[in-house]
Chain A
């Protein structure tokens, strides 16, 4: 699985968009980008994933560059409840028996 690089921490003002970057320069053609987050002391939570097209769901948007070497998770209107550690994970499609490999992630602090 390709390795990812994320900034250790970021701040965002409440109500503004939070843009979390992830570099994955060694990503292979069959590897997807997954984002999970972990709110303090809770289990991780799935956010979104994508292969090469931009993706959007009720939680966030995922923008993947054309060369697929980096991506950005966008929380359009961050709230205090979005304060969490965000993990960018690159791997082949997560099958029914595939485990996730978590790095240290980005600690996002949303401030009033």
Chain B
């Protein structure tokens, strides 16, 4: 049981390049999330997927697209990378902790630098 996995761990892009960040979970969770974390800041939600086949914008969606490929996988795409997108990206999924609340499980993060 690997939990939430993310690839790649590190990436350097030039302005204007595109890339896709991959995320997978093996906990059979319905909901998945993409957050970004800038230096010295808390996490901010980019997009989320409440269930397979649905996606919704979070707090900072501009410049990103997502795909919920199946129940396990949720990818984040940068079509034309900008230096402002230099950040650490975390994927998360949520599962039931008790009868009324859910816990979010986070992946190890992808460290992206755009030059």
A-side residues, CB < 8 A to B, are 32, 36, 41-46, 49, 87, 93-105
Whole-angstrom CA separation of A44 from B35 in the bound complex: 11
- A45-B42 contact in complex given A97-B50, A97-B94, C-beta closer than 8 Å: no
- Please classify the interface of chain A as helix (H, G, I), strand (E, B), loop, or mixed, using the class held by over half of its residues: loop
Question: Is the CB of B58 closer than 8 A to any CB of chain A?
Answer: yes
Are B94 and A45 in touch, CB under 8 angstroms? no
Q: Are the CB atoms of A46 and B108 closer together than 8 Å?
A: no
Q: Is the CB of B45 within 8 A of A99?
A: yes
Question: Cβ of B90: which chain A residues have Cβ within 8 Å of it?
Answer: 43-44
Residues on B lying within 8 angstroms of A by beta carbon are 4, 29-31, 33, 35, 40-45, 48, 50-51, 58, 88, 90, 92, 94-97, 100-109
> CA A42 – CA B42 in complex, angstroms?
13
| B-side contacts of A87, CB under 8 Å | 42
Give Cα A49–Cα B101 distance, bound, in whole angstroms: 9
Partner of A104, one of B42, B51, B109: B42
Report how far A84 CA is from B41 CA in the complex, Å.
Answer: 14
Q: Who on chain A is nearest to B41 by CB?
A: A104
Residues of B contacting A102 with CB < 8 Å?
35, 42-44
Given A44-B90, A94-B102, A96-B102, A103:B42 Cβ within 8 A: yes
Shortest distance in angstroms between A55's beta carbon and chain B's nearest beta carbon?
11
Q: Does B43 lie within 8 Å of A95, measured CB to CB?
A: no
B107: chain A residues at CB < 8 Å are 43
